Amino acid sequence: MRHYLIRRIILTVPTIIGISLVSFVVIHLAPGNPVDSMTMLDPKVSFEAREKLMAQYGLDRPIYAQYMDWVRRIVFLDFGVSYRDGQKVIAKVAARAPVTLLINILSVLLILLIAIPIGAASAVRCGGLYDRFTTVIVFIGFAFPGFWLALLLMSLFGIRLGWLPVQGIVSLDFDTLTAVGKTVDVAMHLVLPVFVSCVGGIAGMSRYVRNNMLEILHKDYIKMARAKGIKERDVIYKHALGNAVLPIITILGLSVPGLIGGSVIFESVFGIPGMGRLFYESVMSRDYPVVMAVLVIGALLTLVGNLMADISYSVADPRVRYDK
Amino acid sequence: MDYSLKGLPARGDCLIAASIADAITLIPMVASDSASHELCSLIYSGLIRYDKDLNIIGDLALSWEISQNGREIVFTLRDDVRWHDAVPFTADDVLFTYHSLIDPKTRTPYAGDFNKIESLQVINPYKIKVTYAQPFAPALSSWAMPIIPRHLLQNEDLSFAKFGRQPVGTGPYKFVRWVTGQQIVLKANDDYFGQRPYIDYYIYRVIPDPSTMFLELQAGGVDLMGLTPLQYNRQTQNVYFNRCFNKYSYPSHGYTYLGYNLRDNKFKDKKVRVALDMAVDKQSIIDGVLLGLGRICTGPFLPDSWAYNKGVMSRRRDIPGAKRLLAQAGWADTDGDGIIDKDGIKFQFCLLINQGNSLREYAAQMIQQQLKEVGVMMRIQSIEWGVLLGEFINKKRFEAVLMGWGLPPEPDCLDIWHSSRVREGEFNFISYKNEEVDRLLEQGRLVIDRASRAGIYQRIHSILYDEQPYMFLWIEDSLPIIHKRFKNIKSSPSGIRYNFTEWYVPSEEQKYGPRHKVLL
């Protein structure tokens, strides 16, 4: 196991270098540049001013030289400063990541909590009224455009009923609230975003659990368990469900990078200043240092997620062993 | 409560304005986005500013004298101004602002006007003399540039200074806090040298999605936002909106045009461009796309301003006339396929628009339909802004483009129309060349006298409309909606913001009082 781990960790280094190189080249080759999007065809901006800005950002130098500069800084974990506002990139990411993380972790937990029972129950009652009902609901959930659902809910709960805030993550008077008040305030703001971000996930995950469960319910060892006279409840929840949810480890591992990646549409509709908007804004303004930071962090998390999934497997499933 | 004071101006309350974008930095010369500029205009002051009729009036400058045929301006500064941190404002701050602007290290896009300065001399703490190498008519208006404090910034690199997120100015509002991506809070400056604003707090709330912003307006979390024509005409007509909000409309300071690449053989002939102009009914586009909330544009100057030529009348739509002109230019439908041609080449071209601007998308489709009637085939392609600019406009790889320009009160537009401004990335990307216009634009910078300048720009206006290097399309209306409790808001040629410090909420209608916790 230890050898395996060490080998995997060493392998991440060339992978990261490769990813960063490709990302760097691609975003620099993408048409447009930071100065253009900054000066936005403003007639007050003279030609000389544009040239000067290009030179100040080092954009007039060959791309390999710019990449080497970037590597030289990144070795010391320095992601540089944003072209847009001169702030440290790492500070910008740190300001945006927590809210995205919070919403994503809450929704992953909620998805598991709701989807596994739904999926398992519909597998057990396969073909029955409940199964058909949940299937219809699940497909509606799949098909529903998230931003539209968001606007409908905001209109209902935020304006008609007035129960929940329309958008944002805190109220205007947040700073004056007590600790309890602050928690309640944030929680109220999170209800709709977390719910909306769950809908698609619940739909997908419950189908996944249902199918796994169905497959396992037809396995011989389940028949064996039943033949031995074990209670049906134990057969389903102990013997079948445990095996049915094992593959979810892979899905969770793959979702680790997604935890800090937000959707720009979702975040815009809810007025959440998260990672999705940060990435979108930086791509649109060709803010290369920020784009690179988000991509590299995402790549790192993907590798970490995969590794964690592999390790969890060996812990959870005795059939999986990495050392001979 | 004393009811005799009902409805009278009173201090207090808070205005919450919504915007789709967060500010980028609050150092005025480094910022290039409209959100930052809007906030900077409340936090800082320039030497001059514009009044409601777009006349230049003093701000930090009490008075000024222009001499040496316009080469010299002597500003007398106010001696009663303090920075928000109570340090007195002096001529040294103006000198420092100038040095920062022209410093090659400063990442500012606005050095152009200031590089024309030969010297800037501090005569005494409240008097400065600016000397230009040659007369420069827009000089005075360029001093609307906000002045920044020397004592806080002299040892900082402006491009990275922390000051950009905790600014100190001399304007009517002081900076309080900035929560990235959410809100920026300003507080009335009790020591403001002008009239202290009635409204105590100004909260700038970032809500990136327009539909969400509209919902937040209805929920009461926003007092001021800009409406779309659809929202203005159709979605805010009910009892609730009439009871709670006032709507305003006035021409925005910008116009939309269809620009031709004049290096393209199809568009070289003036007859062709005039014919295309005659083929397109601008009013129908304004009615269809802007729901009537705009006006026809005939040239690159602010309507109602002194540079605008009221004598320029827009052409009526005239399909037979347009066809005649095209025929004179050699374009006729010889093969009967409905598209006119010349020397075997069909008249078809591609119009580029920037992605995500639905108004322009609809307008382009209407233009497409109308041009079809004179046998011109126009395709539409929408392209992401950065790519459109970098790969197509700057490199002049386009046939026609639908875009907009701002209409600042200072009419100098040499950088857009002069035949020398055609390098990659310069603004005459359509490659327009007219010797008379070149000469007039140069003169317009050299002549200081307002009346003579008016003649020059009005002449430019009529030449440009006659020659049609652009098909001038429309000037859309700004459509702000503001909660009814705010009083003393008046529309004017410069919009509604010019007297923001005089807006007030009568005490009995105030929503956010000292007891309300929003206001720390």
State residue B518's pLDDT score.
Answer: 52
B161:A169 CB<8 A: no
User: Mean per-residue pLDDT for B144-166?
Assistant: 89
Per-residue confidence (pLDDT) for residue B217, from 0 to 100: 93
- Statement: residue B222 has pLDDT above 70: yes
Give the number of other Cβ atoms within 10 Å of residue B305's Cβ.
19
* Chain A residues within 8 A of B32 when measuring between CB atoms: 38-40, 42, 45
Residue B345 tokens, joined: 């080449």
Look at residue B1 and tell me whether its pLDDT is greater than 50: no
Beta-carbon neighbour count of residue B192 at 10 Å?
19
Task: Please give the sequence-ordered ranges of beta strands (E in DSSP) within B413-496, or none if there are none.
Answer: 470-478, 480-483
Strands across the sheet containing B173-179: B173-179, B183-188, B199-206, B12-19, B224-226, B480-483, B245-247
Count Cα atoms within 13 angstroms, Cβ side, for B159: 14
Query: Under an 8 A CB cutoff, do A47 and B421 touch?
Result: yes
- Using a pLDDT cut of 90, give the percent of chain A over it: 9
Would you tell me how many other CB atoms lie within 10 Å of the CB of residue A9? 12
The predicted pLDDT at position A37 comes to 66
Asked which of A36-50, B8-22, B165-179, B493-507 is least confident by mean pLDDT, the reply is A36-50
Residues 30-69 of chain B with CB under 8 A from chain A are 30, 32-33
Instruction: Kindly report, residue by residue over B254-293, the tens digit of the pLDDT.
Output: 999 999 999 999 999 999 999 999 999 999 999 999 999 9
Question: Which two structure tokens, joined as six digits, stand for B254?
Answer: 């910008």
Residue B334: burial class (beta carbons within 10 Å; 0-12, 13-18, 19+): exposed
Q: What is the mean pLDDT of chain B?
A: 91
The pLDDT of residue B321 is above 80: yes
- CATH code for the part of the protein at B3-20+180-249+479-519: 3.40.190.10
B 85-144 near A (Cβ less than 8 A): 104-105, 107-113, 115
Tell me how crowded residue A322 is: count the other CB atoms within 10 A of its CB. Answer: 15
Give the residue extent of every domain in chain B. 3-20+180-249+479-519, 38-155, 254-477
B514 pLDDT exceeds 70? no
A33:B384 CB<8 A = no
Given a contact cutoff of 8 angstroms between Cβ atoms, the answer to whether B211 and B269 are in contact is no
| Tokens (6 digits) for B485 | 């409790």
Contacts of residue A40 in chain B, CB cutoff 8 Å?
32-33
Q: How is residue B167 written in tokens? A: 């600014």
Residue B504 is predicted with a pLDDT of: 94
Q: Indicate if the alpha-carbon torsion angle A202, A204, A207, A209 is positive or negative.
A: negative
Tens-digit pLDDT profile for residues B91-141: 999 999 999 999 888 877 788 889 899 999 999 999 999 999 999 999 999
pLDDT given at position B336 = 85
Q: Which CATH class is domain B38-155?
A: alpha beta
Note whether B415 and B462 are within 8 A (CB). no
pLDDT computed for residue B132 by the predictor: 94
pLDDT tens track for B328-360? 999 998 888 889 999 889 999 999 999 888 899
The structure tokens listed for A284 are: 């649109």
Query: Would you say residue B520 has pLDDT above 90?
Result: no
Alpha-carbon span B450 to B458, nearest angstrom = 12
* Dihedral angle over CA of A299, A303, A306, A308, nearest 10: -120
Q: Which helix (H) or strand (E) holds B37?
A: helix B34-43
| B425 at interface of A, judged by CB pairs closer than 8 A | yes
Chain position carrying tokens 């359509």:
B430
Instruction: Give me the residue label for tokens 């500069």.
Output: A69
What topology is assigned to B254-477 in CATH? Dipeptide-binding Protein; domain 3 (3.10.105)
What pLDDT was estimated at residue A317?
Answer: 75
3-class SS at B15?
Answer: strand
CA distance B514 to B319: 65
Place of tokens 């929503």: B511
Mean pLDDT score, A55-81 = 86
Which residues of B fall within a CB distance of 8 Å from A92? Answer: 180
pTM: 0.82
pLDDT per position as a tens digit, A227-258: 888 888 888 887 888 888 888 887 888 788 77
Joined tokens for residue A197:
């971000």
Highest mean pLDDT range out of A157-161, A222-226, A288-292, B282-286? B282-286
Average of per-residue pLDDT values in chain A = 85
Q: What single-letter amino acid sits at B130?
A: V
Of residues A123, A111, A318, A141, the one with CA closest to residue A212: A123
Residue among B228, B252, B50, B71 nearest B144 (CA): B50
Binary contact (A172, B211; C-beta < 8 A): no
Residue B398, beta-bridge partner list: none
In the block, tokens 């200074």 appear at B161
Angle at which helix A89-124 crosses helix A248-260, to 10 degrees, equals 150
Separation CA A108–CA A115 (nearest Å): 10
Query: Contact A284/B394, CB-based, under 8 Å?
Result: no
Distance from CA of B202 to the nearest CA of A (A): 12
Note the pLDDT of residue A32: 75
pLDDT higher than 70, residue A322: no
| Residue in A31, A50, A86 closest to B159 by CB | A86
Whether residues A95 and B180 touch (CB distance < 8 A) is answered with: yes
- Report the pLDDT value the prediction gives residue B39, as an integer from 0 to 100: 95
Which whole number is the average pLDDT over A109-115? 91
Closest residue in chain B to residue A86, using alpha carbons only: B160
Contacts of B408 (CB under 8 A, 6+ apart): A44, B141, B253, B302
Partner-chain contact B221 A53, CB within 8 Å: no
User: Does the structure show a pLDDT above 80 at B418?
Assistant: yes
Q: Best interface-test mutation with B: which of A29, A45, A157, A282 has the largest number of B CBs within 10 A?
A: A45
Check CB contact of B25 with chain A, cutoff 8 Å.
yes
Torsion of CA B381, B384, B385, B389, to 10 degrees: -70
CB B101 within 8 A of CB B120: no
For the ranges A2-16, B127-141, B162-176, the lowest mean pLDDT is seen at: A2-16
Query: DSSP class of residue B146?
Result: P
φ, ψ dihedrals at A69, nearest 5°: -55, -45
- Enumerate residues 6+ apart whose C-beta is below 8 A from B461: B298, B299, B300, B301, B307, B308, B309, B312
Cβ contact A151:A269 at 8 Å: yes
What are the two backbone dihedrals, phi and then psi, of residue B178, each rounded to the nearest 5 degrees? -135, 115
Backbone angles phi, psi at B332, to 5 degrees: -150, 160
Q: What is the pLDDT of residues B432-468, one digit of tens each?
A: 999 999 999 999 999 988 899 999 999 999 999 999 9
In DSSP notation, A73-86 reads HHTTT---B-TTT-
Residue B393 binned pLDDT confidence (cut-offs 50, 70, 90): confident
CB contact under 8 A, A158 and B215: yes
From A115's Cα to the closest Cα of chain B, the distance in A is 29
Q: Which residues lie below 8 Å from residue B398, measured CB to CB, with a gap of 6+?
A: B261, B350, B352, B392
Tokens (6 digits) for B287: 């009615």
* Residue labelled with tokens 């809908």: A199
Q: Which residue of A has its CA nearest to B111?
A: A49
Report CB contact under 8 Å: A85, B516.
Answer: no
Chain B residues in contact with A154 (beta carbon < 8 A): 212, 215
Q: Are A222 and A281 in contact (CB under 8 A)?
A: no
pLDDT for the residue numbered A78: 87
Burial class of A64 by CB neighbour count within 10 A (0 to 12, 13 to 18, 19+): exposed
pLDDT tens, A137-195?
888 888 888 888 889 999 899 888 888 998 888 888 787 888 898 889 889 999 999 99
> What SS3 state is found at B254?
strand
Per the structure block, which two tokens stand in for A178?
């007590």
Residue of A nearest to B518 (CA): A173
Give the amino acid at B77: L
Chain A interface, best mutation among B19, B20, B32, B203, by max A CB count within 10 A? B32
Please determine, for residue A38, whether its predicted confidence score (pLDDT) is greater than 80.
no
> Please, what is the Cα angle at A68 between A65 and A69, to 5 degrees?
90
Q: Are B373 and B279 within 8 A, CB to CB?
A: yes
Hey, what are B461's tokens?
């206006």
- On whether the CB atoms of residues B82 and B191 are closer than 8 A, the answer is yes
Query: H or E segment at B61?
Result: strand B61-67
Written as six digits, the tokens of B507 are 């005490």
Question: What pLDDT score does B353 carry?
Answer: 93
Residues in chain B: 520
Residue B321's Cα: distance from chain center in Å? 35
